[in-house]
Amino acid sequence: MINKTITLFGLGLLFAASTAFAQNTVRFQQSGRLDENGIPINLRGATSVRVSDDELSAKKTAQPSQFVTKFEGRKAELPENLSILGDIYENSEVLIYGDYHTIVPKGALIYIPPTFKKRISKGPQPQSQLVWWPEFYSKNRGWITHREITIEQVEGRGTFPEDVVEVILTDHKVVVATHEQGPVTCLTPLSSEKQQPNESP
């Protein structure tokens, strides 16, 4: 085993701050641009006039996107399996209750009792509020539980002991796989022999 520490510095530092702030929050400036009477200081006259659509079209035509350094790139075809959107819901299971839902990794639901199948979904849920797993779980312990699993179970190289399967099946709760408290994919199936017909996963 190679022990090596890698620092991903700046994860989340700047990029996407763009979309990150796309919320309709308005803050009136404390900008120092106004005097005590609310009048702009340092008044100057206009130096330009708002551009029209025709003028802008002409500017964009005159100056198309271009590389300003020597460019040795070539036009490229996109790989077939390229996912541009990369939405978090693509790789998530969705648990819904009331006006809220949460997401856990794809494959993290070890067991879904038939009673609660309607509370499991996939894809975005624009009609309800997304909350993260810890908050959702704390408010829905009546029908959701989680079970710590090993790396071997995560990767499909483990098994679930019979007594564990028994507990899961008799508890009648949705079971989310976790590893060190964090939801995780579980590639090891729950023993199917004891599952009743129509039970998941």
Partner 1 sequence: MKFLTHILTTYLFLGSLLSHGQDLIRQYNYSTGTFRDVYLSNNQGTVLSPMIVPNPGACFDLWARGIHPDNYYYRLDTKVVGTYLPQASIQITSEDPYPATRTRADRPYDVTMVISGLINDDPSAPLASKRVLYLRHGENYPEGTYRIPMNTSRSVYVLESYDVPNGTHQSTHYNSISPANPTEATGEETYRAYSYPDASIPVASILAQQVIQIWPVANAEVSGVTENERFVVRLPELSIKLTALYPDSLTYVQLYQGPKALGRVGTVLPSTVRDFDADVPQDETILIRDWGEHLQEDGIYTVEVLTVTPFNSGNPERLGAITFEIDREVELRGTVTSSEN
Q: Which of residues 46-75 bind partner 1 (CB under 8 A)?
A: 46-53, 56-57, 59-60, 63-69, 71-75
Q: Is 118 in the site for partner 1 (CB under 8 A)?
A: no
**Minimum distance of partner 1 from residue 114's CB (angstroms):** 26
Question: Looking at 94, 95, 96, 104, which residue binds partner 1 (CB under 8 A)?
Answer: 104
Q: Maximum Cα–Cα distance for the chain, whole Å?
A: 81
Q: How many residues sit close enough to partner 1 to count as binding (CB under 8 A)? A: 101
Q: What region, left, alpha or beta, does residue 34 occupy, with left being phi > 0 and alpha being psi -120 to 50 degrees? A: beta
Question: Looking at 111, 173, 185, 190, which residue binds partner 1 (CB under 8 A)?
Answer: 185
Q: Is 11 in the site for partner 1 (CB under 8 A)?
A: yes
**Minimum distance of partner 1 from residue 97's CB (angstroms):** 16
Instruction: Please enumerate in sequence order all residues whose Cβ is within 8 A of that of 22, keeping only pairs 6 or more positions apart, or say none.
Output: none
Distance CA 185, CA 108 (A): 4
Q: Is 98 in the site for partner 1 (CB under 8 A)?
A: no
Q: Is 180 in the site for partner 1 (CB under 8 A)?
A: yes
Distance CA 179, CA 186 (A): 10
Pick 36 or 193: Cβ nearer partner 1: 36
Q: Is 23 in the site for partner 1 (CB under 8 A)?
A: yes
Complete edge-to-edge strand list for the sheet that includes strand 144-148: 109-111, 174-179, 144-148
Q: Is 170 in the site for partner 1 (CB under 8 A)?
A: no
Distance CA 103, CA 123 (A): 9
